[in-house]
Amino acid sequence: MNKHFLIALAAAAALCLAMPAPSQAKTWNLRFTGSDFESHPSVTNGLLPWFKEIEKATNGQVKIRYFNPNTICPVNEVVTSIESGAIDMGAIDHARNSGRFPMHEVFLLPLITGNSTAQGVTAWRVLQSSPLLQKEMASVKVLGYWGGGSMQIMTKDKPVTKLEDMKGLRMTCLSKPFADTAQVLGANPINIPLADIYMTLSRNSADSALFSLLASGSIKIQDIIKHITLVSLCKDTRFVGINKDLWDSFPPDIQKAIESTCCSEEWAYRMSQTMDNGDITGKELLTKAGAKFYTLDEAEYARWVKACEPLDQAWVDKVVGLGIARNDAETLLKQVRSVGAEVTASLAAKAAQ
């Protein structure tokens, strides 16, 4: 073999060894936290399997570890911790950050959708065409939305079967938007954190709760609640965000691989279904404990919708006061309600097939 050829070949080999392949040579171990414990359906059946998908899609270069709430940052500081880089990624609900995301509070209005899956799909679909929502989330790279748990009317002593039954109920609520809904329907809301609901009910400081089926077992509310009206009154929206500087530091192939696992309506559907599936388990638990369930007929449901209308106008007035054009706010509200109804009907038809 030609001597010069061998020398050139050796030199080329040495050069290749000295030049690392940029994305193949690096790995990332990311820290992720949220508002739910690792035993929650959204984590066990949603986030953790998704992390494995990301690891596979990136050929093991991106690995994500989930930390329970209040371990690596306070749960009420998840958003600011993602923005600052104190944590890499996080999942948080817009309801928990009331006031921080006023445009997204449109999704917290009552009776937007029929279940968590419809809520998540609606939120993601509207986000794609709404500059107002996109601007509000611009401080993080958003990887996906999903729908929070459906809030049902739960009472200790008497069932709620008509609007008048809400009057005077002392009702625990998990956020101000939910408390506003309880109040407009005639109840006296008590805005308290999840951990205080059981004690408040057991000490007779409240006689009802606006709460989800899926989380019932986590606070043993089935020991107290005897009547549940399935109205899916309110739902929050949740988002997954990653620090923007970290995201921008990823090579294009890593970004593309991660986005292939999320950033889609299909991901919103799949993640949100973990909540609806959790509702099924929660209902079974409450049924076994002896709780009775009720629904509203079409005419009664229409009365609840009418009673909640002032909250729509209140939201419009609020964001207009923050500098949003009234026409833009009203257009977004109309779009959210229209898409919410459309998605809810579509999913119901699909389930009936």
Average pLDDT over residues 118-134: 97
Do residues 158 and 228 lie in contact, with contact meaning Cβ atoms separated by under 8 Å?
Answer: no
Is the pLDDT at 193 greater than 80? The verdict is yes
List Cβ neighbours of 46 (8 Å cut-off, separation of 6 or more): 146, 270, 271, 274
Q: Say what the pLDDT of residue 16 is.
A: 47
Is the pLDDT at 167 greater than 60? The verdict is yes
CA distance linking residue 283 with residue 292, whole number of Å: 10
CA distance linking residue 330 with residue 338, whole number of Å: 12
| Residue carrying the six token digits 């989930």 | 66
Nearest to 63 by CA among 89, 97, 94, 82: 89
Average pLDDT over residues 134-146: 96
| pLDDT digit string, tens, across residues 86-104 | 999 999 888 777 788 999 9
Give the E-state strand segments of the chain in sequence order.
Answer: 28-33, 62-67, 89-93, 141-147, 151-155, 170-173, 188-191, 208-212, 227-234, 237-242, 292-294
* Helix (H/G/I), strand (E/B), else coil: 137: coil
Q: Say what the pLDDT of residue 8 is.
A: 46
Q: Which residue has the higher pLDDT, 82 or 21?
A: 82
Is the pLDDT at 143 greater than 90? The verdict is yes
CA distance linking residue 320 with residue 341, whole number of Å: 25
Confidence of residue 24 (pLDDT cuts 50, 70, 90): low
Lowest-confidence range among 11-15, 26-30, 87-91, 321-325? 11-15
Q: Which residue has the higher pLDDT, 238 or 14?
A: 238
CA distance linking residue 64 with residue 31, whole number of Å: 6
| pLDDT digit string, tens, across residues 230-258 | 999 999 999 999 999 999 999 999 999 99
Is the pLDDT at 51 greater than 80? The verdict is yes
Q: Say what the pLDDT of residue 95 is.
A: 78
Confidence of residue 112 (pLDDT cuts 50, 70, 90): very high
| Percentage of the residues of the chain whose pLDDT score is greater than 90 | 85
Q: Say what the pLDDT of residue 25 is.
A: 63
Is the pLDDT at 182 greater than 50? The verdict is yes
Is the pLDDT at 265 greater than 80? The verdict is yes
